[in-house]
């Protein structure tokens, strides 16, 4: 029997569960705090958590030994994450989490399309139907 923790689906489900909890906690956390400061505080917590995990697991590697291409893309990904989080926290200060979070997840639709266009991935008709349903759901949630 395969190890449950070794496959990507369990990690994807856990990511979704923690993203849901994150959205609820963030909505409560931005009450009475500037959204940019709230984003910074969240980022500091993430940095501390990940520093501890990497340290405990002995996963430190000198930056000079890491592939330059990987570093460039991780830097760009970090910048995109920062901008995404700033926008997300601002949206949470202005709107209900029950609508903000699902609309934020339109990123699933965007990444599916970009994965096909830019990375050469493929989706069968059933997967495209799922992507389309996600898009429709986000639009329905966005409507007043």
CA 87, 91, 94, 97 torsion: positive or negative?
A: negative
Q: What is the pTM of this model?
A: 0.84
Kindly give, in sequence order, each residue whose CB lies less than 8 Å from that of residue 88, ignoring residues fewer than 6 positions away.
26, 100, 104
> Where along the chain do its domains lie?
4-104
DSSP for residue 60: -
Q: Over the stretch 71-126, which tens digit does the pLDDT of each residue have? A: 999 999 999 999 999 999 999 999 999 899 889 989 999 999 999 999 999 999 99
Query: CB-side exposure of 27: number of CA atoms within 13 Å?
Result: 14
Instruction: Report residue 5's pLDDT band, with 50, 70 and 90 as the boundaries.
Output: confident
Cα(67)–Cα(65) distance, rounded to whole angstroms? 7
């Amino acid at each position: 029997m395969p190890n449950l923790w070794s496959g990507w689906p369990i990690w994807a489900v856990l990511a979704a569960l923690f993203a849901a909890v994150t959205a609820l906690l963030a909505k409560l956390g931005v009450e009475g705090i500037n959204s940019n400061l709230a984003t910074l505080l969240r980022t500091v917590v993430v940095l501390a958590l990940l520093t501890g995990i990497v340290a405990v697991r002995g996963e430190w590697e000198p930056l000079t030994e890491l592939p330059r291409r990987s570093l460039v893309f991780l830097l760009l990904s970090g910048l995109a994450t920062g901008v995404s989080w700033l926008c997300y926290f601002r949206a949470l200060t202005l709107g209900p989490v029950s609508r903000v979070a699902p609309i934020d997840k339109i990123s699933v639709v965007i990444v599916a399309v970009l994965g096909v266009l830019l990375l050469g991935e493929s989706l069968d008709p059933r997967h495209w139907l799922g992507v389309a349903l996600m898009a429709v759901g986000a639009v329905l949630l966005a409507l007043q």
